[in-house]
Amino acid sequence: MPALSSEFKIIAIDGGAAVGKSSTSKGLAERLDLMHVDTGAHYRTITFALLATGASPEDDLQDTLAALDLKTHLDRRTARLCIDGRVPTEVEIRSPEVNASVSKFAAIPAVRQSLFEYQRNQANVGREEGFRGLIMEGRDIGSIIFPDAQHRFFLEADEATRAARRAKEGQTDSIADRDKMDKARKTAPLVCPEGAIRVDTGPRSLEEVIEHIINLIGTGNTSD
**16 labelled ligand-binding:** yes
CB 29 within 8 A of CB 156: no
**138 labelled ligand-binding:** no
**18 labelled ligand-binding:** yes
**20 labelled ligand-binding:** yes
**218 labelled ligand-binding:** no
**15 labelled ligand-binding:** yes
CB 10 within 8 A of CB 123: yes
Binding residues, by number, are: 15-23
Binding residues for ATP, by number, are: 15-23
